[in-house]
Amino acid sequence: MRSNPAAAVPSTVSAERNETLGTVLSPSQANLFLSCSARWWFKYGAGLPDPKSGSLCRGTAVDKTVERWFRLILEDGTPEIEAMASVYEESWNAAAEETVFRDDEDPAELKRQGAIVTRKYLDEVAPEIRPARIQERVCGEIGGVRVVGFVDIVDVDGRIIDVKTATRRPGGLDPGYLFQIATYRQLLPGANGKARIDSLVATKTPRLVTIEHEMTAADERLTQRLYPLVREGITEGLYFPNRASSMCSRRYCAFAEACVKEFGGYVD
């Protein structure tokens, strides 16, 4: 008999909302469900707290600063790199209020790393980008499923540009990112099928890594097959942990205790 997580985990989500779970998905929701459906349930179904980690705080501060830079350009402004320091400071402070830093995270060092890669990006990469739209909300249907999302940057040629902050140099295009940009390609009016991931590697030696990709029919077909399966899994209450995942750790998952209580086993 399959366990019913809804009965085992205290829910802070109303019954009305539970009935609508899975009717509208985003790329991040689908990726989370595919990587660990139990984690998806604890976050979106049971509504358990999922505070930002230090790394996510850093990434949020970087994203907000980069967004502000391009919005100034769209407003016919001429942003100054030095002025972005105060934007980063404000963005970090706002994000830090919602962050639970782990014992092995140094907030001051994370903040410093974020500031360095942000300046490096604005100095070396951003001036070459001709933005047309920033944080563009997209919505539509893929595989019969209602999907929504936000595109970081769309340039004047219709190319999708996504900015990510990473803790290590990427060896290629992450499957989760590919799923995300393939989603945006189908929902974004005027998208030319080309995409670019700008990874800001926030390490002791900061680096910028750019990966170009042109969408294929196979990329889009994957989203068209997986979105309906994710929705079906949610509708059927098919939630279980992926204990083989490198992210299944008390360090990376805020739901480890609830997961052990519900499913048994252990999580380091």
What pLDDT was estimated at residue 93?
97
Residues of the chain with pLDDT under 50: 1-17
3-state helix, strand, coil in the chain (%, to 5): 45, 20, 35
What pLDDT was estimated at residue 171?
84
What pLDDT was estimated at residue 172?
86
Q: Is 146 exposed, middle or buried (0-12, 13-18, 19+ CB in 10 A)?
A: middle
pLDDT digits (tens, 9 = 90+) for 65-82: 999 999 999 998 889 999
What pLDDT was estimated at residue 18?
54
Show the domains of the chain with their CATH numbers.
Answer: 54-222 (3.90.320)
The dihedrals phi and psi of 147, each to the nearest 5 degrees, come to -130, 140
Report the distance separating Cα 104 and Cα 126, nearest Å: 32
pLDDT digits (tens, 9 = 90+) for 92-135: 999 999 999 988 899 999 999 999 999 999 999 999 999 999 99
The dihedrals phi and psi of 148, each to the nearest 5 degrees, come to -130, 160
92 token code pair: 């970090």
